[in-house]
């Protein structure tokens, strides 16, 4: 958490220039959307399952989320006054059993191949939020851009039900084993500071436009980054759009997350109050 806050402070000092108070009206928009990503990655558990003296390392996906989707809440919002804005994004997902492979077992720092996986599964729960402060640096009839800085938080719980061809024996003997079958779960919280740009490109004089978002950061993770773009249409107080989003976390410290990426189409609407 301290690393993430330090990253945020540095990004704010670098990216956001001084500005006098604005007299413009306060604007607020609520942005419900549907995101159907494939989830691809690898996890390295850090605790020992009961009855075992090693911890598993697994790979999962890519697999389409709609095949395993149980429940989800996805929402974004934006508050803007003059050149300043606050943008936030909230995602909670619960995914039922997804096929996975136990690749190896970590016996106290020594990695041993897990052999043949005969049908392991992993269930995910995750809460992901990104909140950024933005400052507008470009605004004309064709194009606008905000520079942004903020925080990204990820909580993920992964429950593994594994099934191997045989019990795995550790390299040192002395009773080191990993059971052929079993079940346990582990969770982790990850904080990162992020910075980037967001805005839109207007397509001529009509109602069509291309929104875009890009950020990169670090903290508890060695690296996290995100890209989004879409084709949008505005009418009355509404905006609708269809696009694509890609989000990545890469390893850091003793986190269960080795690397994970989420990519897929996104369909959303925005109501401007």
Tell me the per-residue pLDDT of 73-93, one tens digit each, with 9 for 90 and over: 899 999 999 999 999 999 998
Dist. CA 9–CA 5, nearest whole Å: 6
Q: 141-161 burial string, b = 16+ CB within 10 Å, else e?
A: eeebbbbbbbbbbbebebebb
Q: String of b and e for 12-33 (b: at least 16 CB within 10 Å)?
A: eeebbeeeeeeeeeeeebebeb
Q: Please, which pLDDT band fits residue 15 given cuts at 50, 70 and 90?
A: very low
pLDDT tens sequence across 113-127: 887 788 888 888 889
What tens digit of pLDDT does each residue of 218-271 get? 999 999 999 999 999 999 999 999 999 999 999 766 677 888 888 989 999 999
Tens digits of per-residue pLDDT, 178-202? 888 888 888 989 999 999 999 999 9
**In 3-state terms, what secondary structure has residue 116?**
coil
Tokens at 8, concatenated: 């945020």
Q: Are strands 38-44 and 55-64 parallel, antiparallel or unpaired?
A: antiparallel
pLDDT at 88: 97
Tell me 220's DSSP state: S
pLDDT band at residue 149 under the 50/70/90 scheme: very high
Among 7-16, 92-101, 194-203, top mean pLDDT goes to 194-203
The reported pLDDT for the residue numbered 224 is 96
**Cα angle, residue 212 at apex, residues 235 and 21 outer, rounded to 5°:** 80
Q: Which two tokens stand for residue 122?
A: 């992993």
Taking CA atoms, 154 is separated from 104, 106, 190, 212, 215, in Å, by: 25, 25, 5, 22, 15
Q: How confident is the model at residue 63 (pLDDT cuts 50, 70, 90)?
A: low
Query: pTM here?
Result: 0.83
SS3 66: helix
- Does the structure show a pLDDT above 50 at 22? no
Encode pLDDT of 242-256 as tens digits.
999 999 999 766 677
Closest CA to 163 of 101, 205, 124, 120: 120
Domains of the chain as residue ranges with CATH: 2-14+26-272 (2.40.128)
Joined tokens for residue 184:
């346990």
Rounded to whole angstroms, how far apart are CA atoms 193 and 60? 26
User: What are the DSSP calls for 160-212, one per residue?
Assistant: EEEEBSSPEEPTT-TT-EE-SEEEEEEEEEEEEEEEEEEEEEE-TTSSEEEEE
Backbone angles phi, psi at 214, to 5 degrees: -150, 135
What is the distance between the terminal CA atoms of the chain, rounded to a whole angstrom? 34
Give yes or no for a contact between 246 and 227, defined as CB atoms under 8 angstroms apart.
yes
Determine how β-strand 238-250 pairs with β-strand 168-169. Answer: unpaired
Helix (H) or strand (E) holding 14: helix 2-15
Question: Token pair for residue 210?
Answer: 């291309």
For residue 4, what are its two tokens?
A: 């993430």
Helix-then-strand count for the chain, H and E:
1, 15
Q: What is the mean pLDDT of residues 51-67?
A: 68
In this model, does residue 216 exceed pLDDT 90? yes
């Amino acid at each position: 958490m301290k690393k993430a806050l330090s990253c945020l402070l540095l990004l704010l000092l670098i990216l956001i220039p001084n500005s006098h108070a604005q007299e413009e009206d306060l604007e607020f928009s609520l942005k419900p959307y549907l995101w159907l990503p494939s989830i691809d990655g690898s996890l390295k558990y850090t605790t020992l399952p009961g009855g075992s003296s090693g911890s598993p390392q697994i790979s999962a996906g890519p697999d389409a989320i709609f095949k395993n989707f149980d429940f989800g809440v996805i929402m974004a919002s934006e508050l803007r006054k003059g050149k300043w804005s606050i943008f936030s994004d909230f995602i909670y997902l619960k995914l039922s059993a997804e096929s996975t492979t136990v690749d190896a077992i970590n016996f106290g720092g020594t990695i041993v191949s897990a052999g043949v996986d005969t049908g392991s599964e992993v269930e995910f729960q995750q809460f992901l939020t990104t909140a950024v402060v933005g400052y507008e640096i470009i605004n004309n009839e064709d194009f606008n851009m905000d520079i942004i800085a903020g925080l990204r938080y990820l909580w993920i719980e992964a429950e593994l039900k594994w099934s191997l061809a045989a019990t795995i024996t550790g390299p040192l003997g002395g009773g080191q084993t990993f059971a052929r079958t079993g079940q346990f779960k582990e969770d982790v919280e990850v904080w990162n500071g992020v910075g980037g740009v967001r805005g839109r490109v207007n397509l001529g004089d009509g109602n069509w436009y291309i929104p875009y978002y890009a950020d990169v950061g670090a903290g508890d993770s060695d690296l996290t980054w995100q890209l989004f773009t879409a084709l949008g249409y505005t009418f009355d107080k509404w905006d609708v759009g269809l696009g694509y989003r890609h989000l990545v976390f890469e390893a850091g410290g003793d986190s269960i997350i080795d690397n994970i990426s989420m990519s897929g189409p996104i369909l959303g609407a925005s109501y401007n109050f």
